[in-house]
Chains A and B, each alone.
Chain A
Amino acid sequence: NAGVMQNPRHLVRRRGQEARLRCSPMKGHSHVYWYRQLPEEGLKFMVYLQKENIIDESGMPKERFSAEFPKEGPSILRIQQVVRGDSAAYFCASSPEVERRYEQYFGPGTRLTVT
């Protein structure tokens, strides 16, 4: 049973480019969460999605960041016009049914470097 998969594992972008991070949840999980880990900091919640719905995006920066979880395919976190401050590790987690949302399984993360 494959765990949460994220790709790419490492991503380098120049300032102003777009970054697209992908997350495939565990089989049978329909809830996805994105967290960001800045250097020397813990993980910060960004967004919670179910299939085709954004449930809670209270942790997302107001501009340049967007997330989706389509009916088919992985969840995508998109960062437009990246800046150096976006350099971080981005982790995706998934959970089973809504009654067990606290039970989150994390992927290996995507480490974004903006040059």
Chain B
Amino acid sequence: AQSVTQLDSQVPVFEEAPVELRCNYSSSVSVYLFWYVQYPNQGLQLLLKYLSGSTLVKGINGFEAEFNKSQTSFHLRKPSVHISDTAEYFCAVSGAAGGTSYGKLTFGQGTILTVHP
């Protein structure tokens, strides 16, 4: 079984400040990791994913995340946020290819990022 914990339910930040949204996961098998963004009344949009290789992954809209296997973390960062980044962010995990949980996403409870002018 897998689980995802997003450590902050809400993160307020001022425009142009850096931000980090924290995510820890638990799994007994190899995993793929994802960050999605959800704007109000919309579906989820994939920001970035880690499958293998370099532990630092870059995504859309200037976001990046670092996979840390020893700490079972996958924190999302952006060096300078904009008002338009205000949204809810979800961390998710899937078992890696070949496993029974492959393709079945398990989501964290979400972090609401609010960017203030």
* A binding-site residues for B, Cβ under 8 Å: 4, 6, 31, 33, 35, 40-45, 48, 56, 58, 91, 93, 95, 99, 101-109, 111
> Do B43 and A101 touch (CB < 8 A)?
no
> Do B110 and A102 touch (CB < 8 A)?
no
Scan B88-117; emit 1 where CB is below 8 A from any A CB, else 0: 001010100100001111111110000000
DSSP class of B's interface residues: helix, strand, loop or mixed? strand
* B binding-site residues for A, Cβ under 8 Å: 4, 32, 34, 36, 41-46, 49, 51, 90, 92, 94, 97, 102-110
Residue of B nearest to A45 (CB): B104
Residue of B nearest to A43 (CB): B107
| A-B Cβ contacts below 8 A, count | 61
Residues of B within 8 A of A106 (CB): 36, 43-45
| Minimum CB–CB distance for B72 against chain A, Å | 18
Given contacts A43-B90, A102-B49, contact A107 B103 (CB under 8 A): no
